[in-house]
Amino acid sequence: MRKATLKVYNSLTRKKEEFKPINEGYIGMYVCGPTVYSDVHLGNCRTFVSFDIIYRYLLYLGYKVRYVRNITDVGHLLDDGEDRILKGARLEQLEPMEVVQKYANGFHEMMDVFNTKKPSIEPRATGHIIEQIEMVQQIIDNGYGYERNGSVYFDTLKFAKAEKGYGKLSGRIIDDLLSETRDNLKNQGEKNHPSDFAIWMKAAPEHIMKWNSPWSVGFPGWHLECSAMSTKYLGKTFDIHGGGNDLKFPHHENEIAQNMGACSCQPANYWLHTNMLLMNGRKMSKSDGNTISPEELFSGESPHVTKGYSPMVVRFFFLQSHYSSPNDLSDTALQGAEKGYKRLMEAYRTLNGLTTEGKGDSMDEEINQLIESAFLDMDEDFNTPMALAKMFELVPKINSFKEGRLDINQLSEEALNNLKTSFKGFLFDIFGLKDDMESAQGNSGAMDGLMELVIDLRQSARANKDWPTSDKIRDKLNELNIQLKDGKDGTDWTIN
């Protein structure tokens, strides 16, 4: 285990704090997952890739991590009170569970495309109705919940008065919440106070997804699933709770209230929030056309980009900003990311080929220090742009070693090995990148064999002074973004 003093910005205290896990060597982390009623969008991907990097770094440090990320498949209502899943089912004429499966599959595929690690547990709200009913009962027993016509509401005023502090995470004052509550507008009249929120909702007779409960045949409030499932799998208080910053209010605020109301304990010691993905400086929004799907971005079939960008280039682009800062997607920014990504991967391949006779060690300190400072950047609230910058300070050094401008023999074998292991560790284990070229070339060797054949054919054409054929081969390969490089040891090829 690397000895690290990890610091994280805690949204609850609004301070950067030293991270101290509850149990030594083990971390419980809960991240709010998607509501699976439509295709996952790039903003969601940014948030889940950010938590993937956090997860990867904690694993790299040697922690055992239980990473729980839920799937919301019931109870997340639209502003008009309709359940998102039921709306999807109505529009697509599918069973609600078909909608859930369809978009959960799509979400998982996209997470694979972005090379994110799977969570340890991925619980679904509909699979935890009993736990949610039990929690509602605990909240009622403790005096923070009241029943009206079969629905149960959380009593925010009573909770705030008991100095449990409703509004601490989002910094909202209860009177400001009068106009902000959105759940189940139809039933506002049933509440004691407009900021009270439903923890159990009585279902209308035509409502499809509903369960028996002591109060009515109904369904749980959206916020309740995360309180119940995080408690079940991580305990009453665990280490990290994450999500996008648009979830701070009401979702996370209400989660805290529910957990405090049920067991008088804070669910998480550290609350981490990602910032939003923008496009060309503006919020991504379907209604004004300022949006792009991951597929359109990969294929280049969108007016917002001049060409397609690979998922790893997009992942590299995400890494270039800190998870808590806004991230502004644009064609120019992606072109820059593509250049940077390729340069980094090329340096990795170059580094793999380096050897030293280790005659001196005058370069050791500089190299070791750069690596160490990249780790310190990650220790400082997972600062990926800074750590990435350190990798880019190493790139010209690696290239100079290769080209002889720096004497590789001034690097001890130990330092070269440290450089190789750490560079690889950062690129692939921590940043979670993959080498696009390696993947393309790794297609069961078929690509290698094919290219060998094409290069042979071109060589024969050249030997026979058949220039039209040899030019045609080169030009056609260029069109396919495959470049040939003739050298004294033969012809090499690269995919651009």
Among 104, 129, 247, 374, binds ligand AMP (CB under 6 A): 247
Residue 32 beta carbon to Zn ion: minimum distance, rounded to whole angstroms: 3
Backbone angles phi, psi at 66, to 5 degrees: -100, 110
34 binds, among ligand AMP, Zn ion, none (CB under 5 to 8 A by kind): ligand AMP
Q: Is 226 in the site for Zn ion (CB under 5 A)?
A: yes
**Cβ 284 to ligand AMP, closest distance in Å?**
5
> Is position 34 an interface residue for ligand AMP (rule: CB under 6 A)?
yes
221 binds ligand AMP (CB under 6 A): no
Q: Which is nearer to ligand AMP, 97 or 495 (CB)?
A: 97
* CB-nearer residue toward Zn ion: 226 or 268: 226
428, 315 Cβ separation under 8 angstroms: no
Q: Are 242 and 29 in contact (CB under 8 A)?
A: yes
Task: Show the CA angle centred on residue 350, arms to residues 346 and 352, nearest 5°.
Answer: 120
The single-letter DSSP state of residue 492 is E
Q: Are 118 and 163 in contact (CB under 8 A)?
A: no
CA atoms within 13 A on the CB side of 58: 26
In which residue are the tokens 């990097």 written? 53
User: Based on CB atoms, which residue is closest to Zn ion, 32 or 419?
Assistant: 32
The mark string for 367-396 relative to ligand AMP (x by CB under 6 A, - otherwise) is ------------------------------
With binding defined as CB under 6 A, does residue 170 bind ligand AMP?
A: no
Site string for ligand AMP, 263-302 (x = CB under 6 A): -----------x-xx------x------------------
Binding mask 186-205 for ligand AMP (x = CB under 6 A): --------------------
32 binds Zn ion (CB under 5 A): yes
Alpha carbon separation from 339 to 101, 194, 342, 495 (Å, rounded): 37, 52, 5, 13
Interaction pattern, residues 325-344, with ligand AMP; x per rule: CB under 6 A = --------------------
Strand (E) or helix (H) holding 495: strand 490-495
Interacting residues with ligand AMP between 462 and 481 (CB under 6 A): none
465/269 Cα distance (integer angstroms) = 73
Element (H, E) at 164: none
Whichever of 36 and 312 has its CB closer to Zn ion, that residue is 36
Instruction: Give the whole-angstrom CA distance, residue 61 versus residue 67.
Output: 15
Residue 200's CB: how many other CB atoms inside 10 A?
A: 29
Distance between CA atoms of residues 458 and 254, nearest Å:
68
Interacting residues with ligand AMP (CB under 6 A): 32, 34-35, 43-44, 46-47, 243-244, 246-247, 274, 276-277, 284
